[in-house]
């Protein structure tokens, strides 16, 4: 029953929200910043409702580490589609997510995601991947935060909740090319909501932990050279210290 309610709510939210998107599109011609913030808050409210319906008991740790007045690059581990729902609901300012390209084949969902500055990535096309990173860099320069899950796909290692797949170094060019801070996130328990019980949604206790912002320029040369590996270690420690 929880699964039916959650998916029904999501469907109705996407459909019934279309007139609001239309109104906000008109307003954006005069005040884009206002529109971006309104659309962010609307979707955050929707995601919180989905979390409530799904029975997610969320504990947030270290939220004071998230800068409120500047664009940042969020990076974290990735084990569930609910990682997006949980993390996006906490973003203090407009934030775009880098998502796999297949998602943009869903017409209404694609419209919502584009309006929220999400970028679609074809993992098998290196040239297109570079364009995605360049677009993300432009967004950060315009004051829009970006969230990337540097493992590249969902980690399906159910035996070891602390294991991470190697972080892709290219993901971090968004920070190295703009100078924005990197905010590490650790998600614990999100796979218990859906992936471990597919196709059913189950109530679960979830932790979202934010680490201290990382300024790439403050790291030594070796750490800067291997920023992906460095950030992976940071996220691993956040998970191990809070599991």
Question: Is residue 222's pLDDT more than 80?
Answer: yes
E-strand stretches of the chain: 56-61, 73-76, 95-100, 119-121, 145-148, 182-188, 204-210
Q: How far apart are CA 38 and CA 40, in angstroms?
A: 5
CATH topology of domain 56-242: Glycerol-3-phosphate (1)-acyltransferase (3.40.1130)
Q: Is the dihedral of CA 155, 156, 162, 165 positive or negative?
A: negative
pTM of the model: 0.94
Per-residue model confidence (pLDDT) at position 71: 97
Give residue 163's pLDDT band: very low, low, confident or very high (50, 70, 90): confident
Per-residue model confidence (pLDDT) at position 43: 95
- For tokens 């924005």, the residue is 180
> Which of the two residues, 99 and 106, has the higher pLDDT score?
99
Per-residue model confidence (pLDDT) at position 164: 93
Average pLDDT, the chain: 92
Distances (CA, A) of 96 to 143, 161, 189: 11, 26, 23
Beta bridge partners of 208: 60, 187
**Mean pLDDT in residue range 146-167:** 87
Question: Is residue 230's pLDDT more than 90?
Answer: yes
What is the chain's alpha carbon radius of gyration, rounded to the nearest angstrom? 17
Give residue 118's pLDDT band: very low, low, confident or very high (50, 70, 90): very high
**Mean pLDDT in residue range 16-35:** 91
Instruction: Tell me the pairing of strands 56-61 and 119-121.
Output: unpaired
Question: Is residue 38's pLDDT more than 80?
Answer: yes
Give residue 158's pLDDT band: very low, low, confident or very high (50, 70, 90): low
Per-residue model confidence (pLDDT) at position 211: 97
Per-residue model confidence (pLDDT) at position 175: 96
* Percentage with pLDDT > 70 across the chain: 99
Per-residue model confidence (pLDDT) at position 162: 79
CA geometry: angle 42, 45, 49, nearest 5 deg: 140
Kindly report, residue by residue over 10-23, the tens digit of the pLDDT: 999 999 999 998 99
**Mean pLDDT in residue range 175-190:** 96
What is the residue extent of each domain of the chain?
A: 56-242
> Which of the two residues, 227 and 159, has the higher pLDDT score?
227
Kindly report, residue by residue over 56-88, the tens digit of the pLDDT: 999 999 999 999 999 999 999 999 999 999 999
């Amino acid at each position: 029953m929880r699964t039916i309610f959650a998916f029904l709510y999501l469907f109705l939210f996407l459909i019934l929200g279309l007139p609001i998107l239309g109104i906000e599109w008109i307003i954006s011609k005069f005040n884009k910043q206002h529109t971006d913030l309104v659309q962010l808050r609307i979707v955050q409210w929707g995601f919180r409702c989905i979390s409530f319906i799904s029975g997610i008991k969320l504990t947030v740790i270290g939220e004071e580490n998230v800068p409120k007045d500047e664009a940042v690059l969020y990076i974290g581990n990735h084990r569930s589609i609910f990682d997006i729902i949980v993390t996006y609901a906490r973003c203090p300012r407009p934030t775009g997510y880098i998502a796999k390209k297949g998602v943009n084949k869903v017409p209404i969902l694609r419209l919502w995601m584009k309006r929220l500055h999400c970028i679609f990535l074809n993992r098998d096309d290196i040239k297109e991947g570079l364009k995605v990173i360049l677009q993300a860099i432009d967004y950060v320069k315009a004051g829009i935060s970006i969230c990337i899950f540097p493992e590249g796909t969902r980690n399906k290692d159910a035996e070891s909740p602390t294991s991470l797949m190697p972080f892709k170094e290219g993901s971090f060019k968004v920070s190295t090319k703009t100078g924005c801070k990197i905010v590490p996130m650790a998600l614990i328990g999100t796979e218990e909501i859906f992936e471990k019980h597919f196709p059913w949604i189950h109530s679960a206790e979830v932790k979202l932990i934010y680490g201290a912002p990382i300024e790439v320029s403050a790291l030594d040369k070796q750490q800067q050279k291997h920023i992906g590996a460095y950030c992976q270690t940071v996220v691993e420690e956040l998970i191990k210290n809070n599991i």
